[in-house]
Structures are given as structure tokens and as C-alpha cells.
């Protein structure tokens, strides 16, 4: 069975225009490298480019570790971290990771469902 082919750039652009509170939408490969998307225009980054690289690598590692429990609990639909300065949500697309960062006061009950509907459109 082959994996579905996704247009990562189109997905990231759709997500960035979904909500004004979204700051970043990017796809990170299993090695922690950004392969599509990025920061929304006219948004000041919260971290340096070097910090981004570390965040992406740590995220890729976390996603790999979560897969260890897929047999018992089923695959992860999304994972979310609420921080003081940002809300971060990750989704698995094939072997890659869609990483979305928004303002901390974004509607975390609605936003992941909207993003999932874009991924699965």
C-alpha cells in the first residue's frame, strides 16, 4: 500500500490563512528538517533560527517515541503543547510532521479539528 501524496506547501498556506492567531505552519521530516511552509508573513519569530532547528529535531524525536504506543493505544491524531507564549500542535502526515504554532489564546478546542479537515481534504 502506498502512502497518499500531499501538497505540503498548499496545506501550510491553507493553515496559515485559517486563523489570524496562527504564526507558523511547516512540515518537518523525520530527521527534524523543515521541508515546506514556515513563518507567516509579518510575524516576528519568538526564537532564533538555531533554536528552530533544535525544536524541530526534538519534535521529530518525540513523534518517533509516541509511535511506540500505537499498537496499544492507536495512532496519535495530534499532540498539543500549551506554553506561556505559544500554542504548538503537531500532526503526523505519512512519515512527516505538520507543526503549527499559534498565539497562546487561540481556540485549542476548534483549531486542531479545522487543521485535520485541511489535511484530510
Tell me the whole-structure pTM to 2 decimals. Answer: 0.93
DSSP string covering 105-117:
TS-TTTHHHHHHH
Interatomic CA distance for residues 98 and 90, integer angstroms: 6
Backbone angles phi, psi at 62, to 5 degrees: -60, -40
Interatomic CA distance for residues 39 and 61, integer angstroms: 22
Each residue of 2-61: pLDDT tens digit? Answer: 578 899 999 999 999 999 999 999 999 999 999 999 999 988 888 888 899 999 999 999
Sign of the CA dihedral 9, 50, 91, 29?
positive
DSSP string covering 40-80:
PTT---SS-HHHHHHHHHHHHHHHHHHGGGHHHH---S-EE
Report percent pLDDT > 90 for the chain: 86
Residue 2 is predicted with a pLDDT of 54
Amino acid at each position: 500500500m502506498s502512502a497518499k501524496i500531499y501538497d505540503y506547501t498548499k496545506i501550510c498556506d491553507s493553515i496559515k490563512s485559517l486563523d489570524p492567531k496562527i504564526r507558523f505552519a511547516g512540515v518537518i521530516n523525520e530527521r527534524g528538517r523543515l521541508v515546506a511552509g514556515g513563518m507567516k508573513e509579518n510575524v516576528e519569530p519568538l526564537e532564533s533560527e538555531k533554536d528552530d532547528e533544535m525544536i524541530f529535531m526534538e519534535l521529530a524525536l518525540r513523534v518517533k517515541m509516541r509511535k511506540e504506543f500505537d499498537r496499544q493505544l492507536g495512532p496519535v491524531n495530534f499532540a498539543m503543547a500549551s506554553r506561556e507564549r505559544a500554542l504548538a500542535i503537531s500532526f503526523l502526515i505519512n512519515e512527516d510532521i505538520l507543526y503549527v504554532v499559534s498565539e497562546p489564546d487561540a481556540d485549542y478546542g476548534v483549531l486542531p479539528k479545522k487543521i485535520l479537515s485541511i489535511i484530510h481534504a
